[in-house]
Chain A
Amino acid sequence: MINQENIRNFSIIAHIDHGKSTLADRLLELCGTVEKRDMENQILDSMDLERERGITIKARAVRMEYKSPDGNEYVFNLIDTPGHVDFNYEVSRSLAACEGAVLVVDSTQGVESQTLANTYLAIEHDLEIVPVFNKTDLPNADPERCKKEVEAIIGLPAMDSPEISAKHGINVEQVIERIIRDIPAPSGDRTAPLKALIFDTQYESYRGVIVYIRVMDGSIRPGMTVRMMNTGAEYNVVETGYLAPRSMVPSPCLEAGEVGYFTASIKNVADTRVGDTVTGAANPAKEALQGYRAAQQMVFAGVYPLDGAKFADLRDALEKLKLNDASLSFEPETSVALGFGFRCGFLGLLHMEVIIERLEREFNMELITTMPSVIYHVVKTNGKMMVIDNPLNYPNPSEIEYCEEPFVEASILTPAEYVGNIMELCQDRRGELKGMDYLDADRVELKYELPLNEIIYDFFDALKSRTRGYASLNYELSGYRRSNLVKLDILLNGDLIDALSLIVHADKAYPRARRMAEKLKDNIPRQMFEIPVQAAIGGKIIARETIKAMRKDVLAKCYGGDITRKKKLLEKQKEGKKRMRSFGTVQVPQEAFMAVLKLDE
Chain B
Amino acid sequence: MNKKLGIYVHIPFCRAKCSYCDFYSVTGSDNLFGAYSEALKTHIREAAEQLAECDVDTIYFGGGTPTHFGAKRLCAVLNEIAKRFYITEKAEITFEANPESLDGEDALRLRRAGFNRVSIGVQSNDNLTLRQLGRPHTWERAKRAVRACRDAGFQNLSIDLMYGLPGQTLKKWEASIADGIALEPEHISCYGLKLEEGTPLFERRAELELPDDDCQADMYAAAVERLDEEGYAQYEISNFARKGFASRHNMKYWTLGEYLGFGASAHSDLNGRRFACVKDVRQYIERIRSGEKVMTDLEFLPPQARAGEYIMLGLRTVRGISSAEFTSRYGEGFEKLRPYIRKLVSAGFAREVGERVRLTTKGFLVSNVIIGNLLDYL
Contacts and interface: CB of A to CB of B under 8 A. Distances in A.
Contacts of A555: 194, 367-368
Interface in A519-557: 526-529, 548, 550-557
Contact of B191 (A527, A528, A556, A569): A556
A562 interface: yes
A192 interface: no
A569 B214 contact: no
Contact of B269 (A526, A548, A561): A561
Given A560-B267, A561-B253, A554 B213 contact: no
Contact of B365 (A526, A553, A574): A553
A551 B360 CA distance: 13
B368 A573 contact: yes
Nearest to A550: B366
Interface in A355-399: none
Contacts of B217: 551-552
A554 B252 CA distance: 20
Contact of B371 (A548, A550, A560, A570): A570
A566 interface: yes
Given A552-B365, A553-B365, A554-B364, A560 B254 contact: no
B213 A558 contact: no
Contacts of A574: 372, 376
B85 interface: no
A206 interface: no
Interface in B206-258: 213-214, 216-217, 220, 237-238, 252-254
Contacts of B67: none
B368 A554 contact: yes
A529 B347 contact: yes
A287 B178 CA distance: 97
Interface string A92-130: 000000000000000000000000000000000000000
B349 interface: yes
Contact of B309 (A526, A560, A562, A563): A563
A528 B62 contact: no
B366 A528 contact: yes
B281 interface: no
Nearest to A567: B312
B237 A561 contact: no
A554 B369 CA distance: 8
Contact of B253 (A550, A554, A558, A564): A558
B123 to A, nearest CB: 13
A560 B8 contact: yes
A561 B277 CA distance: 13
Given A561-B253, A561-B261, A552 B276 contact: no
B253 A552 contact: no
Contacts of A559: 23, 62
B213 A552 contact: yes
A563 B313 contact: yes
B321 interface: no
Contacts of B316: 558
Q: Which of A555, A566, A577 counts the most chain B CB atoms within 10 A?
A: A555
Contacts of A569: 368
Contacts of B220: 552
A578 to B, nearest CB: 11
Contacts, number: 96
Q: Which of A556, A560, A573, A577 counts the most chain B CB atoms within 10 A?
A: A560
Interface residues of A, number: 26
B117 interface: no
A561 B368 contact: no
Interface of A, helix, strand, loop or mixed by DSSP: loop
Contacts of B313: 558, 563
Given A551-B213, A563-B313, A570-B312, A556 B276 contact: no
Q: Which of B216, B349, B364, B371 counts the most chain A CB atoms within 10 A?
A: B371
A562 B276 contact: yes
A577 B267 CA distance: 29
A574 to B, nearest CB: 7
A592 B267 CA distance: 41
B237 A554 contact: yes
Interface in B268-286: 268-269, 274, 276
A573 B220 CA distance: 23
Nearest to A549: B366
Q: Which of B191, B238, B265 counts the most chain A CB atoms within 10 A?
A: B238
A529 B237 CA distance: 21
Contacts of B312: 563, 566, 570
B294 to A, nearest CB: 16
A561 B268 contact: yes
B266 A560 contact: yes
B369 A563 contact: no
Interface in B300-344: 309, 312-313, 316
Given A554-B366, A554-B367, A573 B372 contact: yes
Contacts of A554: 192, 237, 364-368
Nearest to A527: B369
B173 interface: no
A558 to B, nearest CB: 6
B372 A570 contact: yes
B191 A551 contact: no
Nearest to A573: B372
A335 B312 CA distance: 34
B259 interface: yes
Interface in B156-214: 191-192, 194, 213-214
Contacts of B375: 570
Contacts of B297: 564
A560 B10 contact: yes
A563 B261 CA distance: 13
Contacts of B376: 574, 577
Contacts of A577: 372, 376
Contacts of A556: 191-192, 194, 237-238
Nearest to B163: A556
A551 B363 CA distance: 9
Contact of B369 (A553, A560, A562, A566): A553
A156 B332 CA distance: 86
A561 B252 contact: yes
A89 B80 CA distance: 88
A562 B216 contact: no
Contacts of B253: 558, 561, 563
A481 B161 CA distance: 70
Contacts of A557: 191, 238
A551 B347 contact: no
Contacts of B62: 559-560
Contacts of A560: 8, 10, 60, 62, 261, 266-267
B267 A562 contact: yes
Contacts of B213: 526, 550-552
Contacts of B214: 548, 551-552
A560 B366 CA distance: 22
B3 to A, nearest CB: 17
Interface in A554-601: 554-564, 566, 569-570, 573-574, 577
A529 B62 CA distance: 38
Q: Which of A548, A562, A570, A573 counts the most chain B CB atoms within 10 A?
A: A562
Contacts of A552: 192, 213-214, 216-217, 220, 365-366
Contacts of A553: 365-369
Interface of A: 526-529, 548, 550-564, 566, 569-570, 573-574, 577
Given A551-B214, A558-B254, 5 more contacts: A529-B347, A550-B366, A554-B367, A555-B368, A563-B274
Closest 4 A-B residue pairs measured CB to CB?
A: A551-B217, A556-B191, A552-B213, A553-B368
28 contacts: A528-B370, A551-B214, A551-B365, A552-B220, A553-B367, A553-B369, A554-B192, A554-B237, A554-B366, A554-B368, A555-B194, A555-B368, A556-B191, A557-B191, A558-B254, A558-B316, A560-B10, A560-B261, A560-B267, A561-B259, A561-B269, A562-B276, A563-B253, A564-B267, A564-B276, A566-B312, A569-B368, A573-B372
